[in-house]
Amino acid sequence: MGEDFRASSRRAFVYPPYAGGFILLLFMLLLIITFLIPMLIMFAFHELGIPFWLTLFILWASLIGSLINIPLKEIRTGRYVERMGIVSFYGIPYYVPRIEEEKLIIAINVGGGIIPLLVSAYVFGTYLMGGDMALIAKGLINIGIVTLITYKFSKIVEGVGIAVPAFIPPLISTIVALSIAWESPYGVAYVGGTLGTLIGADLLNLPKITKLKAPVVSIGGAGTFDGIFLSGIIALILVLIIH
């Protein structure tokens, strides 16, 4: 009995006051994250000249738009599959095997493709209207660098999509923007993160999309939505924190 008592005394116990405090701490952290991240995003977009209400609209439109893909083109894959067709003979249906060529639909995602393009066009438009050709050039340089590095690290994953390490595009975009446009890095960082990911991960991989063996390939959609949508935002937040 003494041995049982000594063994049981070595067990770990969590007393209610400590458990409750731990849960309260987690709840507070959750609240901080829930409110802090949207606030950082709104302040980051504010540096682009976008008001808070429009930032909220862009975020919601991007999330809802991520569910919408607009078809652009249908291409032949050169792969043939056997499908079952139904032939009716005197009212009796018969299942007949049929050989068909697989088609692949190229689409563009509203949330991950069109909206980042519109925001990037707004950034370049403000630079153009302000006659700041230097920032336009720096934005294009950042896009080029992020595109090349993103393309180098992108990988076609059969049946899944195009995979890119999530931290690479925003980190590279932030470093380049702060290096070449310290006086006004926000727009340069955003366009580099979004368009660099869009071009490097999606557009440059279009010649290899048949390797995905998927019925639909969406530019800015599927697995790359997070990358394109978040790369620009994360780059903005990093610049906001560092600058």
CB-based contact 173:194 (threshold 8 Å): no
pLDDT at residue 38, rounded to an integer: 79
Expressed as residue numbers, the domain containing 146 is 28-77+102-242
Biggest alpha carbon–alpha carbon distance for the chain? 87
- Looking at residue 93, what is its pLDDT? 75
Residue 8 lies in a domain: no
Q: Does any domain span residue 19?
A: no
First to last CA, the chain: 66
What pLDDT shows up at residue 23? 73
C-alpha–C-alpha distance, residues 237 and 107, integer Å: 30
The verdict on residue 7 lying in a domain is: no
pLDDT reported for residue 225: 52
Residue 37's pLDDT is: 79
The answer to whether residue 91 sits within a structural domain is no
Flag whether 17 is in a domain: no
Amino acid at 9: S
Q: What is the pTM of this model?
A: 0.78
Residue 207 lies in a domain: yes
Number of folded domains that form the chain: 1
The tens-digit pLDDT sequence of the chain (243 residues) is 555 545 555 554 444 544 556 677 777 777 776 777 778 888 889 888 899 889 889 988 988 888 888 898 887 766 656 566 676 766 777 676 667 667 778 888 888 889 999 999 999 999 999 888 999 999 999 999 999 999 999 888 776 677 888 899 999 999 999 999 999 999 999 999 999 999 998 889 888 877 777 777 788 776 555 678 888 999 999 998 898
**β-pair partners for 96:** 85
Query: In the prediction, which pLDDT does 75 show?
Result: 78
HEC string for 2-19: HHHHHHHHCCCCCCHHHH
Q: Is residue 129 part of a domain?
A: yes
Q: Is residue 54 part of a domain?
A: yes
- Which residues in 199-236 are b (16+ Cβ under 10 Å) and which e? bbbbebbeeebbebebeebbbbbbebbebbbbbbbbbb
pLDDT for the residue numbered 30: 76
